Structure 1
Amino acid sequence: MKKLVILSALFLSACSQLPHLGADKSTPLKTDAMPTPAVPVPAPVEDANEVANNDTTVAMATDFEHIFIDSDMTFEGVLPCADCPGINYHINLYRDGRFEARQEYLERGQVQLITGSWLLDKRTLHLVNQQSTLPVFHFRSNRQLVMTDLSGKPILSSDAYQLNRQDSVRKIDQRQPMLGMYQLRNNQATFIQCQSGESLPVANTQNHLPMMRLYQQDPRFNNKAVITTLVGRKAADQNGIDTLYVDKFEQFWPNATCPDQFAQKKLQGIVWRAEKVADRYVPHQLNVRLIFDKDKLYGFSGCNNFNASYQQRANTISVQQLASTRKFCAEASGIEQQFTEKLQQADRAEVNADKLQLFYNNQVILELVPALN
């Protein structure tokens, strides 16, 4: 038994490849195992489409949920409306963080212009204005906005909730001052622009109704064409027909005619627009206008309507005290006061070329031109 234990120990020590405790660590180990052949590593295959990493590629965003407004954009489309056929939207996004929006309620002619700032959270676009609540949109792509539901998810079930980007940025306010011949027959009005001669049907909107009533109540008109001034815009109706939409009616000018640039100008029968008061130019947007009609004159002084009697003999003129409405408009009050004062001072009137000049003591105090719009 003692011999068997000794033989087993000798056998194990002979088979072990572990170094003896006293062995020199610098002595290489010996093994009877066969060497493992080296496996060749294939050379890397170059991908023609692969872009090597550099400072640019590392800096590029890999989160494709983000979108950037780095240029001015215009989006347009009609979104659903609970109590109307739809709301026509025109939204301009500016890269400086501003937005302009135009809402038009179809068949009402009701237009609202809204400005504010936009906020972009990944693809969610918020249009911020303290007085108005606008829809929240989702950028489906940089060419399409989709309205979101109450939970903030884009409504993708219907194309009716999307706005499409236009190829170029379009001016958001298409309104402009207009002068032309207005005529109403069988509750259908037409408007012929003096400047272009274009004839347009007038949409029966809430801004047009007061104009219609005033025309119907004035016995002088009786279905006849009459010169009128207004602020409006030309747009296609639901049938694609160019139509005039009245945004602001100003007034009718009985006995006035469209100015003829080839005819010799006369004092009466022309709607004159004030161009200069003394040496000060009158801003065009104030639309300061008047007409001389027989023995009375009337007009609009930038904020208020006025009228007065006047007398003319040859070139001499005398204007009586004006009767005027009493509204206050901060942006027009200075010009209005100067204009009405000079008008009542005038003692001579001359039509020279395409201008009407009013004088006082041989000094020009007012210059007016025929109103074309």
Structure 2
Amino acid sequence: MDFSLSAEQKDIIKAAREFAQGEFPDVARDFDRDETFDENIWKEACELGFVGIFVPERYDGAEYGFFEHCLVTEEFWAVEPGIGQAILSTTLGAEIISLFGSDEQKRLVLPRLVAGKEAVGVAIAEPGGDWDVAAAKTTAIKDGENWLINGSKTFVPNGASARFVLVYCDLLPDRVQGDGRYGFILVPTDSEGYSAEKIHGKMGLRAAHTSTVNFNGVRVPLKNLVGKEGEGVRQLGSYLDRLRLTMCAQAVGLSRAALKEMIQHTAGRHIFGVPLNSFQVTQFKIANMAVRIKAAKNLYYEAAWGMDQGRTDSNLIAMAKQFCAETAVYCADEALQAHGGYGYIDEYKVQRLYRDAKALDIMEGAKEMELISGVMDLGVA
């Protein structure tokens, strides 16, 4: 077993780190305060090849593995989570199209994502039911040559700015039960009956836009169904595996950022005439953060490597997501605590990390759900 990175992977990390360090820090606080984002940064990231790095060459991507996508994600989040999310969330849903879409759908969407010309969104969660994917109420009914879509979705990334949104729908609302009733449909956001409203006042990740979306009699061609009818649950499972791995990388990146803030602040802050980091209790905190970060990184590296080798382990991915997210929250909390009152002021980056970290505990499956998923093969769930 070899844990070393290739020369090419090291180059990807170096390039992503240098780009993030050069572009993110000076604007991060304003983006967070104002809930804004400069799309020119996203376009530049696309030009440098950081966005959609997993997209096949046939559709203008670099055709790297998902592990390399995670490496870029980690570096972006190690500098500034909100901006990292704003840039890389523009391809959320591309995984579904890459895996299950028709050649026509791939040619329509993927090249423009990689080029920074358009963004895509994915609409799964619903008001009230959230991630109860076996009880989706948004319906898509065949009406001649079209799907007729009605319903609402929430927490949709780029819902108000994307060119297309992948919508998780109930295709057979009259059927009492069964997984074979669900599917993803590619919906142009300029369709009549589509409306989106940006969600304001999020606790963190404010540079990244999230929306509530309504579908009021939206009509799209039958060919916009991704894959075959009734495959939605399986497609969603594959997408969640990749999304949760991405979140592992996000969590490790944020944890690294918190550790950096912790080390810098405790070295410069003096208590009783000596640096705060000269106290053993502070050293223990720093060491515990470093240990958890290393463990989290190794856990998600194994899961991402296995996926790229064709051996996806959904239970391992769930374990990794839970542990990585928990590590991010832990590290952000310890770093803020070490800042004392200064950590409560938005002049200091650590409070932003603290707010951003909590999203990782909740998004794409709460930590309790991940724990249940992680023990399914142990015979206790």
Pick the TM interval, shorter chain.
Answer: under 0.3
Q: Structure with the greater relative contact order (CA < 8 A, sep ≥ 6): 1 or 2?
A: 2
**Which entry has the higher C-alpha Rg, 1 or 2?**
1
TM-score, normalisation: structure 2: 0.19
TM-score, normalisation: structure 1: 0.20
Structure with the largest fraction of strand: 1
Structure with the largest fraction of helix: 2
